């Protein structure tokens, strides 16, 4: 009870600050003040009628049901999602494949009573048979079927942002975009996004249906989108949503070589970057974040998230967490602003560290 009362108080404070525009004043607590926009806590993903005005950080909900070792008590996760709304978060990320399906059900149950002004993002693209993922499937009839099922699980009549999760080599992306365009015209979907795609694919899809956001892995130690994807997003006015912005928890400094992952519900044991050897080899990156944060009252996770926010005004990371304390910590990252020298120095320092272990297995 005590914990909840405390959270209620901190959540209410954050909400009051957001609605009354006091965030800039609070940010002076961190040293560097926000000064560049009148509404620093909101960002725009996409352009024109396919744009969304979203909180600077969204909430990744996957780990509440899937791939992050433990599955916490459902009531506590509903409480956490609702606390995020209270604190001003309006962008929630899930996918059919998370669970599968149980994560959409959780998000739907948590957000149904608070649906107004909240943006629910989900993803299609896998074939799921008897609870197992059996491959890719973005055939038009499959997308339509999945959307009907997702709407039910999410307890809503419209999906605010529908992503193709992974490309299906059997279905051209133009056909996928055409199907989503029809669903938008039918009022079942509002906006279209793609996940983990290259620049050429983005252009092809965009020629059929404007995209609101591209979602790809991006963090201080996974910089692939900088090669071409961020440029195309900037050129076409598409937002960018970094997934795994803390590199699946690593950049918080909470994961070490003794961390035990549950292989039955975690993909990290299959990824070369999370072997004990790689965790130790890459620790120099955590040292940079910790040293920077120690001087400024920030945690390593906050520095990592603030760095992403500093890259572009249309970047909206979606850190995942199962802990109200981590949620609050992560949201406060949006209050910090780097000076140009700080940003240059920390970027150079981490870029000079050779990162051991691929982010995915080949
Ligand atoms: N499009 C795609 O293919 C794709 C792929 C992966 C993920 N995603 C989306 O991106 C979201 C986030 O990705 P992710 O979960 O892979 O990685 P992440 O957000 O980089 O890291 C999540 C992990 O970090 C821990 N964490 C979060 N904040 C922390 C803090 N302040 N201090 C210490 N630990 C902290 C969490 O543990 P605690 O629960 O203990 O806080 C969790 O295990 C997912 O929820 C999902 O919606 C999309």
Q: What would the 3-class secondary structure string for the chain be?
A: CHHHHHHHHHHHHHHHHHHHCCHHHHHHHHCCCCCCCCCCCEEEECCHHHCEEEECCCEECHHHCCCECCCCCHHHHHHHHHHHHHCCCCEEECCCCCCCCHHHHHHHHHHHHHCCCCEEEEEECEEEECCEEEEECCCHHHHHHHHHHHHHHCCCCCECEEEECCCCCCCCHHHHHHHHHHHHHCCCECCEEEECCCHHHHHHHHCCCCCCEEEEECECCECHHHCCHHHHHHHHCCEEEEECCCCCCHHHCCCCCCCCCCHHHECHHHCHHHCHHHHHHCHHHHHHHHHHHHCCCCCHHHHHHHHHHCCCCCECCCCECCCHHHHHHHHHHHHCCCCHHHHHHHHHHHHCCCCCCCCCCC
Per-residue pLDDT reduced to its tens digit, 19-58: 333 333 333 333 444 544 333 489 999 999 999 999 999 9
The pLDDT assigned to 362 comes to: 62
Atom of ligand 1 nearest to the CA of 95: 47
* Interhelix angle 140-153/173-185, nearest 10 degrees: 50
Least confident range of 125-134, 232-241, 348-357 = 125-134
**Residue in the structure block whose two tokens are 């009362």:** 5
CA–CA separation, 329 vs 54, rounded Å?
19
For residue 222 and ligand 1, the question of a CB distance below 6 A is answered with no
The verdict on the CB of residue 27 being under 6 Å from ligand 1 is no
Ligand 1 pocket member 146 (CB < 6 A): no
Are 12 and 85 spatial neighbours (Cβ–Cβ below 8 Å)?
Answer: no
Do residues 296 and 310 touch, judged by C-beta distance below 8 A?
no
* Pocket of ligand 1 contains residue 164 by CB under 6 Å: no
- pLDDT surpasses 50 at 272: yes
Q: How far is CA 8 from the centre of its chain?
A: 24
Residue 132's beta-bridge partner residues? 129
Rounded distance between C-alpha atoms, residue 113 and residue 93, angstroms:
17
pTM above 0.85, yes or no: yes
The residue annotated as part of the active site, out of 42, 66, 98, 163, is 98
Question: Does residue 98 have an active-site annotation?
Answer: yes
For residue 53, how many other CB atoms are within 10 A of its CB? 14
With beta carbons less than 8 A apart as the criterion, state whether 262 and 69 touch.
yes
At residue 15, does pLDDT exceed 50? no
Summarised one tens digit per residue, pLDDT across range 48-76 is 999 999 999 999 999 999 999 999 999 99
Ligand 1 pocket check for 301: Cβ under 6 Å: yes
Pairing of strands 213-217, 192-195: parallel
User: Residue with the nearest Cα to atom 29 of ligand 1?
Assistant: 326
Q: Which atom of ligand 1 is nearest to the CA of 215?
A: 1
Quick one: tokens of 2? 């005590």
Asked if the model's pLDDT at residue 325 lies above 80, the reply is: yes
Q: Is the CB of 68 under 6 A from ligand 1?
A: yes
- Is 167 a pocket residue for ligand 1 (Cβ < 6 Å)? no
Separation between Cα atoms, residue 266 and residue 101, nearest integer Å: 16
Q: What is the maximal distance between C-alpha atoms in the chain?
A: 55
pLDDT of residue 22: 33
Measured at the CA of 86, the angle between CA 68 and CA 318, to 5 degrees, comes to 35
Band of pLDDT at residue 131, cut at 50, 70 and 90: confident
Q: Which atom of ligand 1 is nearest to the CA of 329?
A: 31
pLDDT score of 23: 33
Look at residue 3 and tell me whether its pLDDT is greater than 80: no
Mean pLDDT within 70-89: 97
**Residue 89, pLDDT score:** 97
Does the pLDDT value for residue 350 go beyond 50?
A: yes
Q: 243 C-alpha vs ligand 1 centroid, how far in Å?
A: 8
User: pLDDT higher for 32 or 317?
Assistant: 317
Pocket test for ligand 1, best of 220, 249, 250, 307 (most atoms within 8 A of CB): 249
pLDDT at 88 over 70: yes
Give CA–CA dist 169/217, Å, rounded. 20
Residue nearest to atom 15 of ligand 1 (CA): 320
Does the domain at residues 9-250+264-351 carry the CATH identifier 3.30.70.20? no
């Amino acid at each position: 009870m005590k914990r909840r009362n405390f959270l209620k108080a901190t959540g209410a404070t954050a909400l009051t600050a957001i609605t009354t525009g006091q965030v800039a004043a609070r940010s002076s607590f961190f040293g560097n003040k926000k000064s560049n926009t009148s509404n620093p806590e909101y960002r725009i993903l996409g352009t024109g009628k396919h744009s969304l005005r979203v909180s600077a950080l969204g909430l990744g909900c996957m780990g509440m049901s899937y791939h992050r070792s433990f599955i916490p008590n459902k009531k506590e996760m509903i409480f956490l999602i609702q606390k995020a709304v209270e604190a001003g978060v309006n962008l929630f990320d899930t996918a059919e494949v998370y669970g599968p399906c149980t994560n959409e059900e959780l998000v739907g149950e948590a957000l149904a009573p608070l649906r107004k002004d909240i943006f629910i993002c989900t993803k299609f693209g896998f074939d799921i048979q008897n609870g197992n993922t059996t491959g890719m499937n973005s055939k038009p009839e499959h997308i339509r079927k999945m959307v009907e099922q997702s709407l039910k699980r999410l307890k809503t009549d419209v999906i605010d942002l529908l992503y193709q999760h992974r490309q299906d080599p059997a279905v051209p992306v133009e056909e996928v975009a055409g199907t989503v365009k029809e669903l938008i015209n039918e009022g079942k979907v509002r906006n279209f996004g793609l996940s983990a795609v290259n620049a050429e694919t983005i252009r092809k899809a965009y020629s059929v249906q404007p995209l609101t956001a591209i979602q790809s892995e991006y963090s201080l130690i996974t910089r692939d989108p900088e090669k071409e994807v961020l440029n195309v997003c900037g050129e076409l006015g598409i937002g960018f949503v970094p997934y795994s912005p803390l590199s699946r928890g690593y950049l918080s400094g909470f994961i070490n070589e003794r961390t035990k992952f549950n292989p039955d519900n975690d993909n990290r044991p299959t990824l070369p970057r999370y072997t004990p050897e790689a965790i130790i080899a890459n620790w120099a990156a955590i040292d940079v974040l910790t040293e920077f944060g120690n001087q400024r009252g920030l945690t390593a996770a906050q520095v990592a998230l603030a760095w992403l926010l500093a890259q572009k005004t249309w970047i909206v990371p979606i850190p995942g967490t199962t802990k109200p304390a981590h949620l609050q910590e992560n949201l406060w990252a949006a209050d910090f602003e780097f000076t140009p020298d700080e940003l240059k120095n920390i970027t150079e320092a981490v870029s000079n560290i050779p990162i051991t272990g691929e982010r995915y297995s080949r």
